Chains A and B, each alone.
Chain A
Amino acid sequence: MLPAAHAETRPGWFQPADAAPGDFSPNAFVRVAPDNTVTVIAKHLEMGRGTWTGLPTILADELDADWSQIRVEGAPADARRYRNLLFGGAQGTGGSTATPNSWMQLREAGAAARAMLVAAAAAQWGVPAAEVSVARGTVRHAASQREASFGELADAAAKQPVPERVRLKDRSQFVFIGHAVPRTDAVAKSNGSALFTQDVKLPGMMTAMVIRAPRFGAKVKRFEAGAARKMKRVAEVVAFETPVASGVAVLAEDFWSAKKARDAVTVEWDESRAFKRSTDETMAKYRRLAA
């Protein structure tokens, strides 16, 4: 038995996932719908490593779900529920942390959901919870030959208390973890429907094209954007400066309008504090240091 949480210091992920009425969501990582789909909320981005397949296997295994009922959804921006446990308080993906920081969390999340489905079935059937088993998405009471799907139990499970402690599987019991399962993102990435960052369009969203400094440390002295500002669908041309970069950004309604306008902007750079050493000089310095 492992402590899943303590009432006074419950971690943020004990808050439910964003869910529709009628869904069963015992924590931030799983949602069971009346149509029997199980949606795993992935707090990490899928960038080709199989994260949106691997993370669900962890939760689905402890839940004893059937792989065909598993769906995956990206977590909203909410560090309280979806922080990276290895990044302190921040929500983020990187450094090969997705699986290690999610491992126990997703196991406990799946086990908690499973325990609540079992408790709901036991209450409905008037049998001890210890006699109720779960395998491949079906909850069963063998002695009385009763069974129910997760979807059928979703409503009743939602009314069960979230367990403080959950029993986790022994690794010999894993059915998905360490076994091959079909990738969850193969279909969407084979028919053009997968949404990449560049495909996100929000109301009133602009496209910005940036003119960057030709040398590290150069800053915008002045820029000329009279012609660019008059071009169709161009909203604004602005100089910007951050601790690491200086440049001019052109904002327009669409990519091509922004690009054409950017090409019509001229920038004069202040290179007084810019890095100017040439490749030859750098190599010469390297040889001196290495000698």
Chain B
Amino acid sequence: MIRLKVNGRAIEVDAEPDTPLLWALRDHAGLTGTKYGCGKAPCGACMVHLGGNPTLSCVTPVAMAAGREITTIEGIGQTPVGRPLEQAWVAEEVPQCGYCQSGQIMSAAALLVVNKAPSDADIDAAMSINLCRCGTYQRIRGAIRRAAQALAGARKS
């Protein structure tokens, strides 16, 4: 048994230590919001936060995540940055097929935690790991800007 802390909740998974965190989440913890894209790190669909850092769960052994704070798409909406991001994603109607969007939101959340007012160049640099075959990139940019503005407004008031 490997002990994990996912979205603030302590769980145990009966997985081999070399199992990628992605499959521990999907197959063992039943958290299917995190997606399997390429399994080799270049697509970003499996992005989660591990200890607060954006992490590709498909190439991260679950043993490395034991005892550390894991946040997935199922939990990011309860965070100060994740909530306005999800609202902005809906307002901008970012998703088409939606398969990559969990990973997109997780990368965007990691960006806004460290950069409250990202420029388009900042957004492009931070989001370049996440591929979208529907081509929703312009709306992703728009949603990140919208969420950043909402966060700035919330800080002023």
Whether A256 pairs with B16 at a CB distance below 8 angstroms is yes
The contact string, 1 if C-beta is below 8 Å from chain B, for chain A 184-196, is 0111111111111
Q: Scan residues 72-89 of chain B and give those whose CB is less than 8 A from a CB of chain A.
A: 72-74, 77, 86, 89
Decide: B98 and A232 in contact? CB cutoff 8 A: no
Count of chain B residues near A, Cβ 8 A: 34
- Residue A255, interface by CB 8 Å: yes
> In the assembled complex, how far is the CB of residue B109 from the closest CB belonging to chain A, in whole angstroms?
12
Complex CA gap A193/B105 in Å reads 13
CA distance A198 to B37 in the complex (A): 11
Chain A residues with Cβ under 8 A from B98's Cβ? 48, 185, 188-189, 194, 196
Using A182-B93, A192-B73 as known contacts, say yes or no to A255 and B102 having CB atoms under 8 A apart: no
- CB distance B23 to A256 under 8 Å? yes
**Which of B27, B34, B95 is within 8 Å of A185, CB to CB?**
B95
For the complex, count residues of A whose C-beta is within 8 A of B: 29
Q: Contact at A186–B33, with CB atoms within 8 Å?
A: no
In the assembled complex, how far is the CB of residue B78 from the closest CB belonging to chain A, in whole angstroms? Answer: 10
Minimum C-beta distance from A254 to chain B (A):
4
Measured CB to CB, the nearest residue on chain B to A186 is B90
A201 vs B28: C-alpha distance when bound (angstroms):
11
B73 pairs with A47, CB closer than 8 A: no
Q: Assess the B16–A189 pair: CB atoms within 8 A.
A: no
Q: Which residue of A lies closest to B91 (CB)?
A: A186
Supposing A48-B134, A256-B15, A256-B16 touch, asked if A189 and B101 sit within 8 A by C-beta, the answer is: yes
Q: Within 8 Å of chain B (Cβ to Cβ): is A199? A: yes
**A256 and B20: CB pair below 8 A?**
yes
The 0/1 profile, CB within 8 Å of A marked 1, for residues 10-23 of chain B is 00000110111001
Are A183 and B23 interface neighbours, CB within 8 A? no
Q: In the docked arrangement, what's the CA distance between A176 and B15, Å?
A: 49
The 8 A CB mask of A239-262 against B (1 = contact, 0 = none) is 000000000000001111100100
A256 cross-chain contacts in B, Cβ below 8 A: 15-16, 18-20, 23, 27
Q: Which partner residue on chain B sits nearest A196 by CB separation?
A: B99
User: A190 vs B90: C-alpha distance in the bound complex, in angstroms?
Assistant: 7
User: A10–B16 Cα gap in the complex (Å)?
Assistant: 56
Q: List 14 A-B contacts (CB under 8 A).
A: A183-B95, A189-B95, A189-B98, A189-B101, A190-B89, A191-B86, A192-B31, A192-B32, A192-B74, A195-B32, A198-B35, A232-B16, A255-B36, A256-B20
Chain B positions near chain A (C-beta within 8 angstroms): 15-16, 18-20, 23, 26-28, 30-36, 72-74, 77, 86, 89-90, 93-99, 101-102, 105, 134
